[in-house]
Amino acid sequence: MNAFVPTERSRVRRRPQRAAYDEATVYGILDAGVMAHVGYAIDGQPYVTPTAYWREGRKLYWHGSAMNRMLGVVGEGVPVCVTVSFLDGFIVGRSGMVHSLNYRSVMAFGRARLVEGIEARRDALNNFIDRLYAGRPVKLRPATDEEVAATAMVEMEIEEASAKVRRTGVADLPADHGWTAWSGVFPVETRIGAPLPEPGMGACGPPTPDLAPYAEGVRLDEALSAAARASSPTS
Amino acid sequence: MNAFVPTERSRVRRRPQRAAYDEATVYGILDAGVMAHVGYAIDGQPYVTPTAYWREGRKLYWHGSAMNRMLGVVGEGVPVCVTVSFLDGFIVGRSGMVHSLNYRSVMAFGRARLVEGIEARRDALNNFIDRLYAGRPVKLRPATDEEVAATAMVEMEIEEASAKVRRTGVADLPADHGWTAWSGVFPVETRIGAPLPEPGMGACGPPTPDLAPYAEGVRLDEALSAAARASSPTS
């Protein structure tokens, strides 16, 4: 089983029994999400920017929207921490300390670099669309060189990554026994809602196969994982 | 209307028409969430840690779980960026550039400080429980001094904050006209699932009024906002 090798930077210190470093766990979480929190620092000031991302092999990609501040400092590669997390439930106990959350998360470390060259950026843009909606790029109006030039694409090879998962029930303490407050878990589920076709854009018909993972009621993480499996990056 | 005053640090540069700095918008987003991404840097290396948080007035709080690395450098106050975001939908267009996401997010800047003293930390712990489950602390086994001492609580006064929201449909381009790919929005909704009472913890009965916001099928953001309105912090 391929795994990331944790260092002081990425080793989980708090509750290490919840940690994992294998690619299957890390990639499983990364492929279940579309919104990452990208952290970087400028002169010691941290910034955490939410942004859409995707993964290809050991690389993460995102594009320049809202990243201008960071792009100004990328240069030869700025250290970055990309974190993806999902809230899965509220843990309600019988003492304050026992209250918790169920979650899945990954922290990935590396250096952000700009993707250089119009064709490489065009490939990255198409891969991003394809990763979310497999087979869709050929159905779209092709991006002009001007559009591609206006879009900064960032790539980061994952140097280290750790996953952390809590998925159990209430971690009851012996001292809580005899207390009668309701105790249990409220699960949290994120799902796709009813599609809203854009009005006035012609007879587009129902969503096409590239959009099939996003059927109403499907769990978001399952939709994104299915879309990732169907995708075929070209780069 | 009270508002945060943006500086170079917090001013939204990319798509400023989506930005807001007023307390009502910023607090409305912060109070709709429970999981923040806390960013800090050690020797230029950024870390982004997902953690449960809550708000009281202009202060954000979180506790020490998973924050050990940061707590080691808090000292007189380390600069922090706390980001909260929600994914609200996938925007599917007829050209690659038009694809987007609907979202709500806040970036809040300040300096993290440890809450000092057993009683202040006990208040903070109870306020955290009360913020999520109003009126619950008195139903619980009180935390021992040892338990409180083992829990690091962090507070951060928000010095600056910006909100950024996209909630519209497809931002069609004239050049896309005539292309027939399906176009529209797939909404994303996060809701509370069916409660899972903990087995073997005695006859706790159904969830009590402090847990009422977390009724099955309620939107998570609405549950958390309702819980925040019902809460009465003691500090």
What CATH number does the domain containing A153 carry? 2.30.110.10
In angstroms, rounded to a whole number, what is the distance separating the alpha carbons of residues B152 and A48? 23
User: Is A183 contained in some domain?
Assistant: no
Q: Does A8 map to a domain?
A: no
CB atoms within 10 A of CB A25: 21
Amino acid at B97: M
- Here the tokens at position B187 are 């909404």
A10 part of a folded domain: no
ipTM, two decimals = 0.95
CB contact (8 A) between residue A13 and residue B68: yes
Q: For residue B27, tell me if it sits in a domain.
A: yes
> Do the domain assignments include residue B77?
yes
Q: Chain B window 23-62: which residues touch A at a Cβ cutoff of 8 Å?
A: 34-35, 37-41, 44-50, 52
Residues whose CB is less than 8 angstroms from the CB of residue B81 and which lie 6 or more positions away in sequence, other chains included: A39, A45, A46, A47, A48, B38, B39, B40, B107, B108, B109
- Give the residue numbers spanning the domain of B69: 16-87+101-174+192-230
Give Cβ neighbours of residue B6 (< 8 Å, ≥ 6 apart). B12, B21, B160, B162
Residue B6, in any domain of the structure: no
Which of chain A's residues have a Cβ under 8 Å away from the Cβ of B197?
182-184
CA distance A170 to A184: 6
Whether B95 maps to a domain, the answer reads no
Residue B37 in contact with residue B84, Cβ under 8 Å? yes
CA separation for the pair A53, B48 (Å, rounded): 16
- pTM for the model stands at 0.95
Q: Is residue A59 part of a domain?
A: yes
Domain total of chain B: 1
How far is A194 from chain B, CA to nearest CA, in Å? 7
Which pLDDT tens digits describe chain A residue by residue (235 residues)? 799 999 999 999 888 899 999 999 999 999 999 999 999 998 889 999 999 999 999 999 998 753 566 666 665 688 999 999 999 999 999 999 999 999 999 999 999 998 989 999 999 999 999 999 999 999 999 999 999 988 889 999 999 999 999 999 999 999 999 898 999 999 999 999 999 998 877 656 778 899 999 999 999 999 999 999 999 887 5
Give the whole-angstrom CA distance, residue B178 versus residue A97: 59
